[in-house]
């Protein structure tokens, strides 16, 4: 529905009605069509624009002198979406939009295409399909827009970046997407910063401040610029707010990065493969400590974990956590000088959704800790062989965690009779007295398995999985009773020995039992 100047129309009708009442011979005059959109300012917002989705400071267009209701703009547009507004600071105001969502702006000229204006849904937007320099015209008198593609994008001017610090942030870096504590580079000269260390497969960009995503970032000229063992695909970068381009590390490894903030170039050298030196951590005990735990920061009251009967590397604990921080240690060391089990990145969050990252490190410093953001009852499992932690919330506030609702449950994997075929899943039987309990009894082979609620030929569905990958099922049952229900990571149970087993899933308690029958 188009926004119309209702007050003008109503006023006109009122006057016409009054005249008819007085004189009787006058015809009623109806105003049809769109009235001009009267405004002295017009803004453009969206990730296709240089200002991005910043509604507080969108891109302002310029009114033509000969017609103040015709607005023009010329400059760079990125691949992305955009719409227009008459005011800043509010997403609830009316927006100028295309007649149909996703109408394309590209190299082909657009002449006098009609647009609409309304608030709320549906949220129609123009889609810029080609990055480049454009000339846009919006005629608010006739409710039309025109577009011309003028050529390839003009890169921003290169002005030396004066800073004492430079950081990289992204899932390719050791600190992940933590803008409060990104990876700091070493300043080598006035404008050169370097980094020597691991990069994982993933993305990253660079910044000169922490704690704020709404600032300019150092980015590659083109999104997805590849970094691998041969170096970097293109050595040029830009320092801009948008578009949100990032470097893509295609091959994990130890790299040397060098940023030149005077000439806007990056150099990349692959040094070596990342060597996994994580041998199993041998310990008969495990404790956690911190203001999130029942014992606080007292080593004497450190909270003890229980070791699995069937796997000496698996430790469990279930109980109440409050908002705060925590880490783990192998023994109650009153000096606090011992190595601690810590998250791989600072302030890794634990919440009702689980733990933000499953891997941990075992070091004396830096003093990184897990941060519990929601008080509640949790089940925590540490795997000291694979250096992983899993967290399952068994309540959210005062409510028990919701059971998995399904009438079917299937096992899949090379340990099961049907192998990895979605067309030959091993069906489990629902208990007649408890709809959340499913059992199966039969022959399992040495191998791996997981479970799903419904067949999915694309394997894109969530799976019932162990909290830690490789959780053993064998003669002593299952190493850890808790499971998770996720699309990833792809954790699976590992059946250690061929034999006949009875497997029981409780979808209310989120637990699995395994009994070896011989």
CATH for 410-516, among 1.20.200.10, 3.40.640.10, 3.30.70.1290, 2.60.40.3620? 2.60.40.3620
Lowest-confidence pick of 9-13, 284-288, 443-447: 9-13
Q: Half-sphere exposure of 357 toward its Cβ, with a 13 Å CA cutoff?
A: 20
For residues 179-191, give the mean pLDDT.
91
pLDDT tens for residues 76-108? 888 889 999 999 999 999 999 999 999 999 999
pLDDT category, 22, cuts 50, 70, 90?
very low
Give the pLDDT score at 131.
85
Buried/exposed 284-304: b ≥16 CB within 10 Å, e otherwise = eebbbbbebbebeeebeebbe
Q: Say whether 18 sits in a helix, a strand or coil.
A: helix
512 contacts: CB under 8 Å, gap ≥ 6? 466, 478, 481, 482, 483, 493, 503, 504, 505, 506
For residues 444-473, give the mean pLDDT.
87
Cβ–Cβ under 8 Å, residues 14 and 8: no
pLDDT tens for residues 430-442? 999 999 999 999 9
- Calculate the CA dihedral of residues 476, 482, 488, 494 and round it to 10 degrees: 0
* CATH class of residue range 287-400: mainly beta
Buried/exposed 398-430: b ≥16 CB within 10 Å, e otherwise = eeebeebebeebbbbbebbebeeebeebbebeb
For 44, list phi and psi in degrees, rounded to 5. -120, 135
pLDDT category, 469, cuts 50, 70, 90?
confident
Examine domains 43-151 and 410-516 and report if their fold is the same: yes
Q: Is the pLDDT of residue 390 over 90?
A: no
Q: Is the pLDDT of residue 347 over 70?
A: yes
pLDDT category, 7, cuts 50, 70, 90?
very low
**Total-model pTM:** 0.42
Domain locations along the chain? 43-151, 167-272, 287-400, 410-516
CATH number, span 43-151:
2.60.40.3620
Give the DSSP letter of residue 261.
Answer: T
pLDDT tens for residues 296-329? 999 999 999 998 877 888 898 988 999 999 999 9
Q: Is the pLDDT of residue 396 over 80?
A: no
* CATH class of residue range 167-272: mainly beta
For residues 372-390, give the mean pLDDT.
88
Give the pLDDT score at 379.
86
pLDDT tens for residues 218-250? 999 888 899 999 999 989 999 988 788 899 998
Cβ–Cβ under 8 Å, residues 44 and 73: yes
Output the CA angle 180-82-157, nearest 5 degrees: 65
Q: Tell me the pLDDT of the chain averaged across its residues.
A: 86
pLDDT category, 400, cuts 50, 70, 90?
low
């Amino acid at each position: 529905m188009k926004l119309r100047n209702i007050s003008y129309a109503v006023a006109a009708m009122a006057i016409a009605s009054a005249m008819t009442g007085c004189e009787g011979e006058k015809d009623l005059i109806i105003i049809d069509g769109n009235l001009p959109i009267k405004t002295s300012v017009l803004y453009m917002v969206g990730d296709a624009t240089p200002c991005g989705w910043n509604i507080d400071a969108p891109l302002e267009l310029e009114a033509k002198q000969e017609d103040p209701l015709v607005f023009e703009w010329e400059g760079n547009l990125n691949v992305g979406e955009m719409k227009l507004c008459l005011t800043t600071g509010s997403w609830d105001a009316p927006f100028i939009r295309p007649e149909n969502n996703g109408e394309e702006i590209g190299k082909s000229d657009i002449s006098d295409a009609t647009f609409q204006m309304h608030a709320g849904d549906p949220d129609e937007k123009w889609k810029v399909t080609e990055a480049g320099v454009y000339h846009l015209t919006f005629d608010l008198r006739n409710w039309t827009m025109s577009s011309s593609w003028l050529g390839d994008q003009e890169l921003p001017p290169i002005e030396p970046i004066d800073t004492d610090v430079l950081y990289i942030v992204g899932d390719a870096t050791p600190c992940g997407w933590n803008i409060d504590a990104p990876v700091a580079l070493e300043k080598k000269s006035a404008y050169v910063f370097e980094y020597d260390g691991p990069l994982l497969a993933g993305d990253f960009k660079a910044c000169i401040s922490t704690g704020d995503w709404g600032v300019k970032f150092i980015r590659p000229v083109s999104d997805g610029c590849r970094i691998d063992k041969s170096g970097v695909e293109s050595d040029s970068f830009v320092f801009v707010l948008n578009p949100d381009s990032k470097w893509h590390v295609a091959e994990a490894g130890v790299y040397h990065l060098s940023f030149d903030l005077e000439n806007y170039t990056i150099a990349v050298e692959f040094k070596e493969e990342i060597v996994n030196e994580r041998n199993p951590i041998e310990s008969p005990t495990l404790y956690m400590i911190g203001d999130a735990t029942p014992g606080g920061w007292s080593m004497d009251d450190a909270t003890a974990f229980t070791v699995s009967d069937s796997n000496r590397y698996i430790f469990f604990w279930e109980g109440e956590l409050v908002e705060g921080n925590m880490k783990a240690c192998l023994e109650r060391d009153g000096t606090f000088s011992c190595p601690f089990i810590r998250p791989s990145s600072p302030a890794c969050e634990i919440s009702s959704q689980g733990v933000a990252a499953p891997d941990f490190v075992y070091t004396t410093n830096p003093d990184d800790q897990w941060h519990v953001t929601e008080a509640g009852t949790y089940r925590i499992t540490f795997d000291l062989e694979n250096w992983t932690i899993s967290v399952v919330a068994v309540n959210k506030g005062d409510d028990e965690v919701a059971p998995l609702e399904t009438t079917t449950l299937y096992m899949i994997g090379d340990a099961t009779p049907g192998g990895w075929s979605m067309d030959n899943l091993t069906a489990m039987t629902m208990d007649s007295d408890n709809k959340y309990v499913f059992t199966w009894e039969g022959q399992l082979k040495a191998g791996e398995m997981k479970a799903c609620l419904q067949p999915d030929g694309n394997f894109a569905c969530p799976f019932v999985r162990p909290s830690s990958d490789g959780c053993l099922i064998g003669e002593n049952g299952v190493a850890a009773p808790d499971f998770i229900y996720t699309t990833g990571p792809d954790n699976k149970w590992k059946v250690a020995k061929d034999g006949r087993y009875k497997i029981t899933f409780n979808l209310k308690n989120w637990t699995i039992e395994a009994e070896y029958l011989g």
